[in-house]
């Protein structure tokens, strides 16, 4: 059974936005366009994976096996946000830094989904 969640639509929306940015601005360097297309592809791939039940089951199994890993998603999200803000501010909002921050956004979304899944597991017990 396929399950569509809020995160499925967030991954899809991110992929569509990145593809639109890459196609809308033809004057971007080829490296930046390639980076945007790769990030969009990764976002589409994670969107595809997240509709299947094994995605949630794998997260639940990992959570139950390693209870000490509860803090890890929060740590990853916090570090990614701080590093992204620091890089963007220190390099004056250049397009290269902004395109790199999209890959960090995908990581933040994946770990936010892990947090939501573990919250649901905890609320069920």
Please write the tens of the pLDDT for every residue from 56-78.
888 777 777 766 567 888 999 99
As given in the structure block, the two tokens for residue 30 are 């080829």
Share of the chain above pLDDT 90, in %: 43
pLDDT of res. 1: 46
Please write the tens of the pLDDT for every residue from 17-52.
999 989 998 888 888 999 999 999 999 999 999 888
Mean pLDDT over 84-100 rounds to 87
Any idea where the domains of the chain sit in the sequence?
A: 6-124
- Residue environment code for 9-27, b if the CB has 16+ CB neighbours within 10 A, otherwise e: ebbbebbeebbebbeeeee
pLDDT of res. 116: 87
């Amino acid at each position: 059974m396929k399950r569509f969640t809020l995160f499925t639509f967030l991954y899809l929306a991110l992929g569509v936005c990145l593809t639109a940015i890459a196609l809308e601005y033809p004057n971007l360097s080829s490296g930046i366009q390639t980076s945007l297309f790769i990030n969009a592809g990764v976002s589409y791939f994670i969107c595809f994976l997240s509709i299947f039940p094994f995605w949630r089951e794998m997260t639940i199994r990992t959570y139950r096996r390693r209870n000490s890993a509860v803090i890890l998603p929060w740590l990853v999200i916090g570090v990614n946000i701080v590093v992204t803000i620091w890089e963007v501010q220190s390099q004056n909002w250049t397009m290269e830094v902004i395109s790199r921050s999209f890959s960090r956004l995908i990581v933040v979304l994946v770990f936010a989904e892990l947090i939501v899944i573990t919250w649901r597991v905890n609320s069920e017990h």
